[in-house]
Amino acid sequence: MRNGLGGAACAAAMALAPTMAAAEEAGGLAVGAVYNLDLMGAVEGAPQRGRVLDKLMIDVDLDFDRLWGWSGGRAHLGLMNSTGGEPNADAATLQGINNIEVERHRGRLYEAWLEQDLGPAASVRAGLYDLNSEFYVTDSSGLLIGPGFGIGSELAATGVNGPSIFPSTALGVRFEVRPTETTYVRAALIGARAGVPGDPGGVDTNFDDGGLVIAEAGWTAHGLLGFGYWRYTDPVDDLVDLGPGGTPRRRTAQGAYLLVEQPVGPERDGAARATVFARLGVSDGRTAPFSGGWQAGVLIPQPVAGRPDSALSFGVSQGWTSPAWRDLSAAGGAPLGPTETQLEITYIDRLMPGVMIQPDLQVVLDPGADQGRDAVVVLGLRLTYEFSL
């Protein structure tokens, strides 16, 4: 299963201004980069050894209005390189423990899209596009390193080789309308087979596997209340059920999700003391390993007096294995339980200009949805270096 970029990129988000905003202030062109270097490994309940892994992300943003007088036009290019070990190979969890872990170590063209405003309250975006940059994302869960906090596992585990999220995206088109200052509606059609230059086969331009349709609407007056729905256009094989002739029955993979974020506590310097988040997702439960799950937690900015760039976050993520996946596993002699639960606490602070440090602790209950396994305890340390040109 693949994980969303949201959590990986947000590890330094509190210290980095959006690149497009920098482009608007720098004559229309902005180049920024974030480098993550992680040391992570299990200290209990799994082989005890550390794994080193890293990710370099380079973002280039163009503001067409400032560059060429093209009103409302912009472009984004994202280049990524990931190397290193796979700590989940030791922890053996279903949802993963590190949101920059990849199976293939290589450079990739991660995103490449054009966007055009359609009047003051609408826009269209097209190209290689990370759906988790705008769909199924909560800002306050972005500091956490567990992949489940980036995008729900019931969606992350779908598709031919995963949906259009980290580490590989797909061609798509996204429309967005903001009826008021505090409401939004966005929808996208994205290729069902993710792949970019740098992946075997590269970009899928034939769409032989169909597409993924996803829509989300939300209200942002006091935090976030959002609702989303997704559905694949082409049916896929049921994991267990067989039709006439012994061939798998064909099913429509689909699901829905709910997002909630709410500032809490007394304000300090005009900002909320903390933000809580809760997310719930469900799917058809016949075509992928997960039928749903939930995540909840809190982000506390500046928990240490005198450390303005520090933040503390705690989260709980639970994935629900699908009945079909449990039946399939039981038939193969490896019965699974109904859930896998992950608890995480992490803290980030600035060591020096451009350098952040982030210790991390995770506890995974019923790892691999195996009710006979002991809990896995994972320690990690992330160093983040950020710079812009």
For the segment 318-372, what is each residue's pLDDT rounded down to a tens digit? Answer: 999 999 999 989 888 888 999 999 999 999 999 999 999 999 999 999 999 999 9
pLDDT digit string (tens) for 174-200? 999 999 999 999 999 999 999 998 888
Angle 39-10-164 from CA coordinates, rounded to 5°? 95
Inform me whether the pLDDT recorded for 260 exceeds 90.
Answer: yes
Per-residue pLDDT at 218 exceeds 60? yes
- Sequence letter at residue 267: E
Q: How far apart are CA 79 and CA 297, in angstroms?
A: 31
pLDDT at 128 over 80: yes
Q: CA-to-CA distance for 188 and 171, rounded, in angstroms?
A: 10
User: For position 7, what pLDDT does the model report?
Assistant: 38
Map tokens 């299990």 to a residue.
Answer: 42
Q: Which domain holds residue 182?
A: 5-388
Q: Looking at residue 276, which CATH number applies to its domain?
A: 2.40.160.180
Q: How many domains does one find in the chain?
A: 1
List C-alpha distances in Å: 15 to 21, 51, 101, 285, 384. Answer: 14, 26, 23, 39, 10
Distance of CA 143 to the CA centre of its chain: 11
Give pTM, 2 decimals: 0.91
Cis check for the bond before 367: say yes or no (omega within 30 of 0). Answer: no
Q: Among 356, 377, 374, which Cα is nearest to 40's?
A: 377
